[in-house]
Amino acid sequence: MLTLIDYGSGNLRSAEKALVAAGAREVCVTADPDRIAKADQIVLPGVGAFADCATNLAAVDGLREALETRVRGEGTAFLGICVGMQLLADVGIEFGSTPGLGWIGGQTSVIQPGSAELKVPHMGWNTAEPTKNAVFDAAWGGAQDVYFVHSFAFRAAYDDDVAAWCTYGADRFAAAVVKDNIMGVQFHPEKSQRAGLALLEEWLKQ
């Protein structure tokens, strides 16, 4: 069963609706470590500040451990969305520094488009340009405009972990990261109309 992690930091309803529209038969919305231990696919949403999301994740007894076991130990497919993607980093640099899950090397830092006309938050539709990844290839077959809303970006330690890039003025950051069974997307597939649903559909199918 697909498990959507409810740790008080996500836009759960939107994510749940989109996953169902993309073909998920049943979505279990939970933070229960016992349910996560049996999940077939795991989605971690996240909205807001890195530190708040990390704190909320840590506050649920046994959640972090259950995720480590099920995702990293047993190879269950995992998708992090927005701050849920950023939490994959080693550390979040956002009003101080906060440790992340450390599943994909890197850190987050503020977006610097390099011009006063280019506003932050990076808010709206921008192009995600996939590198080489089966899920993106099958879903899009090229670049697509998707919906972003964030002020901080994932700076991957290794370019090989970046599955799609996004350019905003002078800044270029990961629109998506992938490592083995773990994927993270900075944009909101649940709010990106057909492009977002197509991506979720392929991720669910893999």
Partner 1 sequence: MTLKVRIIPCLDVKDGRVVKGVQFEGLRDAGDPVEQAQFYDGEGADEICFLDISASHEGRGTLLDVVRRTAEVCFTPLTVGGGVRTTDDFRALLLAGADKVAINTSAVKDPSLVTAAARRFGAQCVVVAIDAKQVGPEQWEIFTHGGRNPTGIDAVAFARDVVARGAGELLVTSMDKDGTKSGYDLALTRAIADSVSVPVIASGGVGNLDDLVAGVTQGHANAVLAASIFHFRTHTLAEARAALAAAGAKVRQPIQGNLR
User: Which range in 31-39, 43-51, 61-69, 96-104 contacts partner 1 by CB under 8 A?
Assistant: 43-51
Count residues binding partner 1 (CB under 8 A): 49
Q: Is 202 a catalytic residue?
A: no
Contact 164, 132 (CB under 8 A): no
Task: Out of 173, 196, 203, 204, point to the residue binding partner 1 (CB under 8 A).
Answer: 196
78 strand-pairing partners:
42, 182
Q: Does 57 bind partner 1 (CB under 8 A)?
A: no
Q: Does 93 bind partner 1 (CB under 8 A)?
A: no
Q: SS3 helix, strand, coil % of the chain, rounded to 5?
A: 30, 35, 35
3-state secondary structure of 180: coil
Q: Does 169 bind partner 1 (CB under 8 A)?
A: yes
Strand stretches in the chain, DSSP E: 2-5, 27-30, 41-44, 77-81, 91-93, 97-99, 106-110, 122-130, 144-150, 152-156, 162-168, 171-179, 182-185
Q: Is 82 a catalytic residue?
A: yes
Query: Which string of x and - marks every residue 101-120 that binds partner 1 (by CB under 8 A)?
Result: ---------------xxxxx
Q: Which of 106, 104, 121, 105 is nearest to 49 (CA)?
A: 121
Residue 172 CB coordination number (10 Å): 13
Catalytic residue among 16, 53, 122, 190: 190
Catalytic residue among 16, 28, 53, 82: 82
Nearest-approach distance from CB 65 to partner 1, in angstroms:
27
Phi, psi for residue 142 in degrees, rounded to 5: 155, -170
* Residue closer to partner 1, measured from CB, 75 or 124: 124
Q: Is 150 a catalytic residue?
A: no
Residues in contact with partner 1 by the rule CB under 8 A? 11-14, 17-18, 21, 47-49, 52, 116-127, 129, 139-145, 147-151, 167-169, 188, 190-198
Residues recognised as catalytic: 82, 188, 190
